[in-house]
Structure 1
Amino acid sequence: MVDRLPANEAIIVCAQDLLARLDDVTVQLSKQLAGSVPEFFEDEDLVREVEASAYGNVAAMLSVFRAENTAEDVPIRAEVTAFASAVARRQIPLESLIQAYRVGQTLFSRLWMDVLAEHISDQLVFIEALHRSFDELNIYLDRVVAQLIGDYERERERWLRGEAARRAALVGRLLRGDPMPIDHASRQLDHDLRAPQTALVAWTASHGEVERQLAALETRLAAVASGAGVSRMLMLPAGTCTMWAWIAGEFDTERLADDGGKPDDPEVLVAAGQTVHGDDAFRISHEQALRARHVVSHMISPAPLTLHADVATVALLANDYDEARRFVSRTLGDLACRTAIAAQLRETLRVFLQEGGSTRQASERLFMHRNTVLYRLRRAEELIGVPLDKRRLAVELALLFVDTFGDEMLPPDSPFEANFVDGADEQAIAPTEGI
């Protein structure tokens, strides 16, 4: 409690407390905002920009509450102003942007009142701290909204008049599957739509400096294409921290991963669809790239470039990650534990299944004696609780989820502690033909 402190010092203490949980607070506010302004949460790119903007606004207000700045002078952070540009480029109405700030002000005010109430029990100190902080909050938000309105209108004017808007509108029609003369669209985009199509999506965290972000994305995509022996591609910004691209024609897609996995900027990630033939190839490959990106967004340590071909099975089944976790837990039973021993057993089982059920090939790949592989397989089967040959496909899928997303797919508790001795007595373990 800070009842013995003056209101201004009590505000500083409360702001320090909230600053320590700033990341969690940002996510909490963004999730609450989603229910009131759903148009900002219809794609992953805009969700990240909402979170970045919320982070910037809360961080600015906490610097005011901590007496580092005044509400009249605190800088409006770059990620806050970038959000207005992103909204304008998506042609979301200005009223939605203003509504978002009204809702955000209400949500933050409630949160701040809770923090003050938690630390201040003296009613007079609480009321004075509330009045002072709310006065500062209103001054800051008036400044922000006024600037964002101007930024939004300028960006919308530039966007609507520019070539980017025409190209974006045409690409949007192609992605919706609208009927149109393909040759005419190819000329408008300077891109051969009759050729096979390979789509890419590049993205980075929003840092607010829009031109720098877009330049980094273009550079990364150009490097990926160049590494695969491609000299040109169609590129289109999708917001302020995402770039879409398409390569027309046949080329060695394996070189995308071989040469494209060495980025100059490690913050830029790329997902690539498969090379698709046919009238709807432009849309299909793009949707594959987006699915691959969706998988990447749930990985703990994703590769710089991810091919849809490498994650196609997971992408097909992983629309509901909560259900995926439940599926893993149900399927693997006690083998779904966050222990080193369980991880060893899962890896042995995964390799065994990948090698077509051959213990000889699995032992060679794992560099261990075949009897050790047999012992581990029997132990894994015991923990699963069901004969492997009855649930083989489900077990393979569950192991694939764990291999792709790591321990996040496993239950948080690890009740199982195996009495497991690696390299068990070979005489005690007679080989079994069924495994």
Structure 2
Amino acid sequence: MVSVGTAEDAIVACAQDLAARADEVAVALSEQLAGSVPEFFDDDDLIREVEASAYGNVAAMLSVFRAETVAEQVPIRPEVTAFASTVARRQLPLESLIQSYRVGQTLFSRLWMDVLAQRLTEQQVFIEALHRSFDELNVYLDRVVAQLVSDYERERDRWVLGEAARRTAVVERLLRGDRIPVEHAGRQLNHDLRAPQTALVAWMPSHGEVNLQLGALAGCLTALTAAAGAPRMLMVPAGTCAMWAWIAGTPDLDRLAECADRLPKSEVLIAAGQTTEGVDGFRISHEQAQRARRVAARMPAPPRLTRHADVATVALLAGDEEEARRFVARTLGELAARTTAAEQLRETLWVFLQEGGNTRRASERLFMHRNTVLYRLQRIEALLGHPLEQRRLDVEVALLLTATFGADMLPAEPDYP
């Protein structure tokens, strides 16, 4: 612990320390919040907006603590107010939003006390720093909650009375699998539900500018389907930084993938379900698109369009992240090391297996001599501790996971049972 001269010095110094890991703090606070307001953690879109809102509040308070502004004047960040709009559009209760701030205040206060306690040795300075910072925190939170209540009520009134809310209600019933008259639902949505359905999900980071975000998402989806020559589609906002869409008909998904690489707004990513027949296709394709999105969100460098058909296997395998990591470590052994040499060997083995065990084709893809491939395969078998033909399926699965998710699938400190 280090003693700081005054309470003000301590607050500024601690705020600077915490600001360096504000992203990490926001995620941690959001995860702790899940037990108190579980309705905010029902899907990936809501979770992302909770984290964005948490980051906005943490960043605002730390700017006050760093003496850059005062709690009465610090701007309420747009990602904070955007979350109130999302809660209203999802028709979640206002009480849940207020409860999240009560719990969030407690969690942040505990964290802040721990940070001050680690730096301060003098009890009087510690107490004074707590009083000063908590006074500022209370002023800020009173302002935020009052603003969000107003935003929530205004957005709820606008949304509930609007056509978008009625369409969204029909979509939610279809996604739940409710048995409703297809023709009637189709007329309400102006969408042919009897045709084959291909679902898309578009998303982007939340910047708090609701109209700009939704406009960018809708623009990318419209441009994508137009460029690919797909029929008209149904679009429904899912919060403020995601858009759900359905194409009625049978689009060329290869063409969609090609066109996606030329889209503007590079931060917008899209996932596509498979084209599915029948009255349940609307729901099934959407569920596939959401699974593809979850895979894309964990990729080190996801493509602009992730197709469920391309990631269906890995989506099933990676449902339990921790077990997937343990499987990779157990299966690959020393080949799972976080080293350049191990990475090169994994790439060689992955290409070799993709080429059906043909060393000539593998060497051509890897731009290396066939003898080099053969040498590497011998080294790989030595590290695995068994011939490649043994447990080949397990090895392919482990390599598929590492090829998709990168180093996230590798053990930090390999421990091979």
TM over 0.5: yes
Q: Which residue of 2 aligns with 1:423?
A: none
User: What one-letter code is carried by the residue in structure 1 that aligns with 2:251?
Assistant: F
CA distance in 1, matches of 2:61, 2:391: 55
CA distance in 2, matches of 1:415, 1:179: 51
- Matched ranges for 1:227-376 at <5 A: 227-376=227-376
How far residue 180 of structure 1 moved from its aligned partner, in angstroms, is: 1.5
CA distance in 2, matches of 1:397, 1:156: 47
> What is the SS of the residue equivalent to 1:164?
helix
> What is the SS of the residue equivalent to 1:165?
helix
Q: Which residue of 1 aligns with 2:146?
A: 146
CA distance in 1, matches of 2:355, 2:314: 19
Is the Cα–Cα contact under 8 Å of residues 65 and 133 in structure 2 kept in the other structure?
Answer: yes
CA distance in 1, matches of 2:352, 2:217: 40
How far residue 2 of structure 1 moved from its aligned partner, in angstroms, is: 6.2
Answering whether residue 65 of structure 2 is matched by residue 65 of structure 1, we say yes
Task: Give the TM-score taking structure 2 as reference length.
Answer: 0.96
Q: Which residue of 2 aligns with 1:86?
A: 86
How far residue 4 of structure 1 moved from its aligned partner, in angstroms, is: 5.4
Is the Cα–Cα contact under 8 Å of residues 225 and 260 in structure 1 kept in the other structure?
Answer: no
Q: Which residue of 2 aligns with 1:429?
A: none
> What is the SS of the residue equivalent to 2:389?
helix
Q: Which residue of 1 aligns with 2:133?
A: 133
Is the Cα–Cα contact under 8 Å of residues 94 and 152 in structure 2 kept in the other structure?
Answer: yes
Equivalences, count: 416
- Matched ranges for 1:9-24 at <5 A: 9-24=9-24
Q: Which residue of 1 aligns with 2:197?
A: 197
CA distance in 1, matches of 2:61, 2:200: 38
How far residue 361 of structure 1 moved from its aligned partner, in angstroms, is: 2.4
CA distance in 2, matches of 1:113, 1:340: 42
Gaps of 5+ in 2: none
Same amino acid, percent of matched pairs:
71
CA distance in 2, matches of 1:4, 1:176: 57
- Matched ranges for 1:373-388 at <5 A: 373-388=373-388
> Per-residue CA shift, 1:268-297, capped at 9, x if unaligned?
100011111122111111111000000011
Structure 1 ranges of 4+ moved more than 6 A:
none
Is the Cα–Cα contact under 8 Å of residues 228 and 260 in structure 1 kept in the other structure?
Answer: no
> What is the SS of the residue equivalent to 1:389?
coil
How far residue 159 of structure 1 moved from its aligned partner, in angstroms, is: 1.1
Answering whether residue 394 of structure 2 is matched by residue 394 of structure 1, we say yes
Larger radius of gyration: 1
User: What one-letter code is carried by the residue in structure 1 that aligns with 2:317?
Assistant: L
CA distance in 2, matches of 1:112, 1:365: 54
> What is the SS of the residue equivalent to 1:70?
coil
CA distance in 1, matches of 2:374, 2:132: 70
User: What one-letter code is carried by the residue in structure 2 that aligns with 1:33?
Assistant: L
CA distance in 2, matches of 1:231, 1:274: 16
Change over 3 Å in CA distance of 1:138–1:353 after alignment to 2: same
> Per-residue CA shift, 1:43-80, capped at 9, x if unaligned?
11111111111111111111111211111111111111
Is the Cα–Cα contact under 8 Å of residues 337 and 415 in structure 1 kept in the other structure?
Answer: no
User: What one-letter code is carried by the residue in structure 2 that aligns with 1:244?
Assistant: W
> What is the SS of the residue equivalent to 2:298?
coil
User: What one-letter code is carried by the residue in structure 1 that aligns with 2:36?
Assistant: S
CA distance in 1, matches of 2:10, 2:223: 53
Q: Which residue of 2 aligns with 1:187?
A: 187
> Per-residue CA shift, 1:175-212, capped at 9, x if unaligned?
11111111121111111111111110000011100000
User: What one-letter code is carried by the residue in structure 2 that aligns with 1:301?
Assistant: A
Gaps of 5+ in 1: 417-435
Answering whether residue 34 of structure 2 is matched by residue 37 of structure 1, we say no
Q: Which residue of 1 aligns with 2:124?
A: 124
> Per-residue CA shift, 1:129-166, capped at 9, x if unaligned?
11111111111111111111111111111111111111
For structure 1, which segment, 19-28 or 74-83, has the greater mean C-alpha deviation from structure 2 after superposition?
A: 19-28
How far residue 372 of structure 1 moved from its aligned partner, in angstroms, is: 2.2
User: What one-letter code is carried by the residue in structure 2 that aligns with 1:52?
Assistant: A
Coordinate RMSD, CA, aligned: 1.5
CA distance in 2, matches of 1:176, 1:282: 11
Answering whether residue 405 of structure 2 is matched by residue 411 of structure 1, we say no
How far residue 386 of structure 1 moved from its aligned partner, in angstroms, is: 2.4
> Per-residue CA shift, 1:233-290, capped at 9, x if unaligned?
1000000100000001122111011111222111110001111112211111111100
> What is the SS of the residue equivalent to 2:271?
strand
CA distance in 1, matches of 2:386, 2:4: 64
Is the Cα–Cα contact under 8 Å of residues 2 and 10 in structure 1 kept in the other structure?
Answer: no
CA distance in 2, matches of 1:69, 1:25: 21
